[in-house]
Amino acid sequence: MENEKHHIVPYRLYIFVLIALLALTFLSIAITGIELGSLTVAGALAFASVKTFLVLRYFMHLKYDKPYIVAMVIFVFAIFVVTIVVTFLDYLYR
């Protein structure tokens, strides 16, 4: 079976990722503290998306997975975004 070629991720990398995640968290807290109006939501979501990307790529090993698994993940996120957009076709134009 093809279980042998497992990539062992070094501890060091995980620590770097954690530091990045924590930094992004504190940055987003700082940014949303400033009054930016509607940009606040966009900013907070942007930070959350970057954090999610890091978790998916490193903690969840997508970086080392076969392309089709990555494709599935992208597809599901895309479906979700499209669902939101289509729902808002109703609410934005009511």
Binding site for another protein (CB under 8 A): 1-3, 6, 8-11, 14-15, 17-18, 21-22, 25-26, 28-29, 32, 40-41, 44-45, 47-48, 51-52, 55-56, 58-61, 65-66, 68-69, 72-73, 76-77, 79-80, 82-84, 86-94
How far is the C-alpha of 23 from the C-alpha of 28, rounded, in Å? 9
Q: Which is nearer to another protein, 67 or 90 (by Cβ)? A: 90
Say if residues 61 and 10 touch (Cβ distance below 8 Å): no
Q: Which residues contact 40 (CB under 8 A, 6 or more apart)?
A: 31, 32
Quote the least distance from Cβ 67 to another protein, whole Å.
13
Q: How far is CA 77 from the centre of its chain?
A: 10
